[in-house]
Every structure is written in structure tokens, then in C-alpha cells.
Amino acid sequence: MPDPVITNDQVLRRLVGLRPYLEQIDALSEIVAENIDYAVAEFERELEMCVYRTVIKQDPGPGEVEGVDYDVREPPLDWHRRTLRELPRLRMRRRPIISVESIRMKLSDDFDVFEFPPEWWQGHIQHNLGIVAVVPVPVGHMALTPTGQAVYTWMTGRMPWAVIPQFVHVNYTAGFEDPANDPRLAEFRRHLANAAALGVFRDVRDLIPSSVSLDGASQSFDAVQQRLEERQKEKEDFFAAWRRRYVPAKILVI
């Protein structure tokens, strides 16, 4: 298991002005951990990414169990005929891609159409963007469906429908091998710690009685709140910049 992407101490440094009040809370460590988990989930959702190495399966094998044999099950991808005007490009839901294990076309669990040979997609992965290009070069018998139909010809000219929903099943691994130390995530970790600190602040403020009489209490809380809320705008700007760099535009089929 890799080191946590951020630690409790990194979050609490953002709340140093509240130390006299934080020390009164027995469950502070648990509160911080909960808010780190919440912030990680928020960042993963908003940025369509995985922080930690995550094994994702759209086509789990017989008997494979989510949470045991793999981490997350996703629905398969739709197949758009318009993508065949150029090389087919598959846009994964989570990035960065660490590896792709298999790509298979299936109409259902009982109707297997074709498994792409690794030669068709190995070396054609845009890892940061989460895009896999498929280069359907004929490779002997592997270019035939179970019915004997030529997949290359079918893919590039005979597909009768504009879209086949949930037709492409991809098993892949996404995330970062060492997010706590990866230099690409330095800015990410900073904004993540700020987001977690804001969550802790809100929880702590709810736990401290409003009639607290410690000198400077309201001033301390108001000052910390103002600084953290100013960083909310920084977080939104970071989200926008990250999306421009790492989240490809969605395809709209008309």
C-alpha cells in the first residue's frame, strides 16, 4: 500500500491558529482522516481521475469479486461509428492510465463478439489523457469474429448502427503508483490539503459550543475561515486548469 497522498499533519498545519481548540477534541484524528477521504473522493470525481493505483474492470472474469480481485467495476463503453472516420479512440472514464489489460467487444455476457489483439492497442495509449487508440491491422485468424466475419472490414465499413451502447469492455489500471511523492502532484496535494482543512474546520466549529469564552475564539475562527474560503477559489481555478491539461473533450454524437 503506498503512502497516503496527504497526511493529517499536512491538513492540521492549515489550522494552526485553532490549536487551543483542536486540542480539546478527542476524536480529532478521526475527523481529519474522514475529511481527507472526502476530499480525495471529491477531487477524483471532479477531475475524472484515480489518485491511487486502481484496478478497473468492465469485463470481470467468472468468479471475480469486486473489492477482492479488482477495485472498481465500471459499465462498458459505447461504440460510436463516427469514430471510425479515423482510428478508433476509446476514452476511459478514469485517468491517468497505468496499463490496459484487455479490450473486448461484447453484446452481452453470453454474446462475445471479438477480443482486440494487444498489438492493436499496445503503444497507442495516451496515459495522462486516458485515451486508447485502436489500430486494427489484420493479424491472421485474430482478425475474425467467432462467426468468421472480418473484424477489420466490419469495423471500418459495415457497422450498421451509429451507436452500440455498452459494447466495448475494457479492463485497465488507472492512478498513480506513488501519489504522496510524485512530483506531478505537488500542486494537487496542496489544494487537496486545503480542501480537507476546510472540512475539518467546519466540523470543529460545530463541535465547539457557540458560548465558548476562550479569549480570541471568534476572531481565531473568523480569521481561519476567511483564509480557507479564499482558497476555495484557488481550488476551482486548479480544477479548471487540470481539466484543460488532462481531461479530453467529450464526444457529442448528433
Whether 219 and 148 share a structural domain: no
Q: Quick check: is 3 in a domain?
A: no
Least confident of 136-150, 197-211, 234-248: 136-150
The string of pLDDT tens digits covering residues 49-78 is: 999 999 999 999 999 999 999 999 999 998
Residue 90 lies in a domain: yes
| Choice between 70 and 211, residue whose per-residue pLDDT is larger | 70
Return the higher-pLDDT residue of 21 and 212: 21
Q: What is the pLDDT of residue 177?
A: 96
Residues 92 and 165 both lie in one domain: yes
- Range from 85-89, 124-128, 218-222, 247-251 carrying the lowest mean pLDDT: 218-222
- 42: in domain: yes
Say whether both 155 and 230 belong to one domain. no
**CA 49 – CA 32 distance, rounded (Å):** 22
Question: At 12, is the pLDDT very low, low, confident or very high (cuts 50, 70, 90)?
Answer: very high
Q: Alpha-carbon distance 112 to 125, whole Å? A: 24
pLDDT at position 48 over 90: yes
What local confidence, expressed as pLDDT, does residue 144 receive? 45
The angle formed by the CA atoms of residues 45, 49 and 54, to the nearest 5 degrees, is 110
Domain assignment present for residue 232? The answer is yes
User: In this model, does residue 253 exceed pLDDT 70?
Assistant: no
DSSP, residue by residue, 184-251: GGHHHHHHHHHHHHHHHHHHHHHHS-TT---TTHHHHHHHHHHHHHHHHHHHHHHHHHHHHHH-PPPP
Q: Are residues 182 and 170 in the same domain?
A: no
Residue 84 sits in the same domain as residue 166: yes
Q: Name the band, by pLDDT with cuts 50, 70 and 90, for residue 113.
A: confident
233 shares a domain with 121: no
Boundary-marking domain end, from 130, 145, 174: 174
Residue 60 in domain: yes
**Orientation angle between helical segments 28-47 and 217-246, nearest 10 degrees:** 30
CA atoms within 13 A on the CB side of 134: 24
Residue 146: predicted pLDDT: 47
Q: What is the pLDDT of residue 152?
A: 54
* Domain annotation covers residue 141: yes
**pLDDT of 24-45, one tens digit each?**
788 999 999 999 999 999 999 9
Are the C-beta atoms of residues 44 and 115 closer than 8 Å to each other? no
Segment 164-196, tens digit of pLDDT:
788 899 999 999 999 999 999 999 999 999 999
Q: How many domains does the chain have?
A: 2
Do residues 112 and 20 share a domain?
Answer: no
pLDDT of the residue at 88: 79
What Rg value do the Cα atoms of the chain yield, rounded? 24
Residue 21 in any domain: the answer is yes
| Residue ending a domain, choose from 128, 149, 174 | 174
Residue 110 belongs to what domain range? Answer: 54-174
In-domain check, residue 252: no
Question: Are residues 28 and 87 both part of a single domain?
Answer: no
> What is the pTM for the complete model shown?
0.83
As to burial, measured by CB atoms within 10 angstroms (0-12 exposed, 13-18 middle, 19+ buried), residue 35 is buried
- More confident of the two residues 202 and 47: 47
Same domain membership, residue 22 and residue 116: no
* pLDDT value at residue 74: 96
Q: Do 163 and 63 belong together in one domain?
A: yes
Give the integer Cα–Cα distance in Å for 154 and 145.
10
SS3 92: coil
What mean pLDDT is reported for the chain? Answer: 83
Of 174, 189, 219, the one marking the end of a domain is: 174
Do residues 125 and 84 both lie within one domain? yes
Instruction: Establish how many alpha carbons lie within 13 A of residue 229's alpha carbon, considering only the half-sphere containing its beta carbon.
Output: 7
pLDDT of residue 148 exceeding 50: no
- What is the predicted pLDDT for the residue at 115? 86
* Contact call for residues 2 and 179 (beta carbons, < 8 A): yes
DSSP for 28-63, written as a single string: HHHHHHHHHHHHHHHHHHHHTB-SB-EEEESSPPTT
Q: What is the pLDDT of residue 164?
A: 79
Rounded CA separation 188/223 (Å): 24
80 and 135, same domain (yes or no) = yes
1/15 Cα distance (integer angstroms)? 28
Is the separation of the CB atoms in 72 and 55 below 8 Å?
Answer: yes
